Amino acid sequence: MYNLRRKFYILCICFAIYSVLSLMAYSYYFSSSSDLDLNISRNLNDYINNRLSPHILPKKICSQKKLLLVIVCSRPDDIQLRKAIRETWGKKHDDVSFYFLFGEFKKNEQIFQAMIEGEQALFDDIIQERFIDSYNNLTLKSAYMLKVFNRYCYKSFKYLMKTDDDVFVNVPRVLQMLANRKENTNVILGRVRHGWPIRDPDSKWYVTFCENLHLFFVRYVPYEWYPEKEYPANVCGPGYIMSRDVAKKLYKCALNESFLNLEDVYLTGICAKKMNISLENSYLFTCNYRPSHFCYYKNFFTLHYYDAEEIVNAYEMLNTNYCNGFSKFDVTKPWTFFFNLF
């Protein structure tokens, strides 16, 4: 009895230490990544030079005409995620091309830069643009994506898909959906949400769990940057698709409209509204992590917050008969049954 009680106390102490350390790490990450300098220029023309080529560019970028171009927004040090994607859903395909896009290191890290250049020499699928890759530069990263597409790829593809490297993309389902579309202009396809700005600088993130109401992570935006009470309807950033004419319209808007640090709200909300671009909602694009088994979501277009191992496992399950024998009804999560009806 004494030993059992002692083990229980030790377990409680370990859990408390873990909780404190996790909270400290969480606070450090989000406070350091979300601090905003209100005096910085919000004119993208001050950051993007259309005459300069990317620091790294694939040799024959967009040389073939296909249905879809997928640009995966990555980080320079996310080597394992890029490896997992290349081995799974990012494999070569007749109707789609894939490129990874990221910026430069915050410091002059010559060793890491040499690794990136070696990776490019092997795979020839990396676009490294001339900006510092950081959390607060996500809008800039998406703007550079539009620059690259309009400069090199506009005539080669009907659609552009923006996704992140922690997303699993069900490429066959996406291509099937696009091939069956009758309208292929002036549209952004994704998970449409609504939200509002957080004005309190101490509230870096507000997290809601009610996806049925289309609510989402709302990040701090000062009143001076966006005075309205609500954001326009927009699609969540981890994965969305636009027709190629939209890529040109969004880029034109971005170069003339003061930008926000929220790339999805800014491009697919503010700019899309200004340019009269239609948003088409689909629940098959996900914003948040799905804790249930992958087979419940095997018909979804995207699944967010996947690490390298989960991406590989999902791909193997999708391309074998594994999910065919998986029960479509889980008594502990009965609502997941309906996801297989899509």
Instruction: Give pLDDT tens digits for 177-187.
Output: 999 998 899 99
The answer to whether residues 216 and 195 touch, using CB atoms and an 8 Å cutoff, is yes
Question: Which residues are paired to 159 by β-bridges?
Answer: 68, 243
The answer to whether residues 243 and 184 touch, using CB atoms and an 8 Å cutoff, is yes
The answer to whether residues 36 and 138 touch, using CB atoms and an 8 Å cutoff, is no
**Dist CA 146 CA 65 (whole Å):** 18
**Dist CA 145 CA 73 (whole Å):** 8
- Find the mean pLDDT for residues 310-314: 96
**Dist CA 327 CA 76 (whole Å):** 40
Domain ranges of the chain: 1-34, 44-281
Structure token pair of residue 213: 């109401």
Give the β-pairing of 239-243 and 157-164.
antiparallel
- Find the mean pLDDT for residues 265-284: 97
Contacts of 75 (CB under 8 A, 6+ apart): 102, 133, 165
Q: How confident is the model at residue 197 (pLDDT cuts 50, 70, 90)?
A: confident
Q: How many CA atoms lie within 13 A of 311 on its CB side?
A: 25
Closest to 61 in 3D by CA, of 147, 172, 169: 147
Q: What is the pLDDT of residues 67-121, one digit of tens each?
A: 999 999 999 999 999 999 999 999 989 999 999 999 998 876 778 899 999 999 9
Give the β-pairing of 126-132 and 96-104.
parallel
Supply the mean pLDDT for the chain: 84
Question: Quick one: CA dihedral 219, 223, 228, 234, positive or negative?
Answer: negative
**Dist CA 127 CA 71 (whole Å):** 9
Structure token pair of residue 56: 């790294």
Query: What single-letter amino acid sits at 296?
Result: Y
Question: Quick one: CA dihedral 139, 142, 148, 150, positive or negative?
Answer: negative
Q: Given this model, what pLDDT does residue 27 score?
A: 38
Structure token pair of residue 264: 């999805």
**Dist CA 142 CA 71 (whole Å):** 10
Q: How confident is the model at residue 44 (pLDDT cuts 50, 70, 90)?
A: confident
Comparing 238 with 3, which gets the higher pLDDT? 238
Q: Count other Cβ atoms within 10 Å, centred on residue 5.
A: 9
**Dist CA 191 CA 305 (whole Å):** 15
Closest to 298 in 3D by CA, of 282, 315, 281, 310: 315
C-alpha separations of 315 from 86, 87, 177, 200 in Å: 11, 9, 19, 42
The answer to whether residues 225 and 202 touch, using CB atoms and an 8 Å cutoff, is no
Q: Given this model, what pLDDT does residue 249 score?
A: 98
User: Using only C-alpha atoms, what is the Rg of the chain?
Assistant: 21
**Dist CA 120 CA 126 (whole Å):** 6
Closest to 74 in 3D by CA, of 129, 121, 28, 114: 129
> Yes or no: is domain 44-281 CATH 3.90.550?
yes
The answer to whether residues 145 and 164 touch, using CB atoms and an 8 Å cutoff, is no
Q: How confident is the model at residue 29 (pLDDT cuts 50, 70, 90)?
A: very low
Q: Given this model, what pLDDT does residue 323 score?
A: 87
Burial class of 71 by CB neighbour count within 10 A (0 to 12, 13 to 18, 19+): buried
Q: How many CA atoms lie within 13 A of 269 on its CB side?
A: 25
Which of 4-8, 16-20, 120-124, 269-273 bottoms out in mean pLDDT, i.e. has the lowest?
Answer: 16-20
Q: How confident is the model at residue 208 (pLDDT cuts 50, 70, 90)?
A: very low
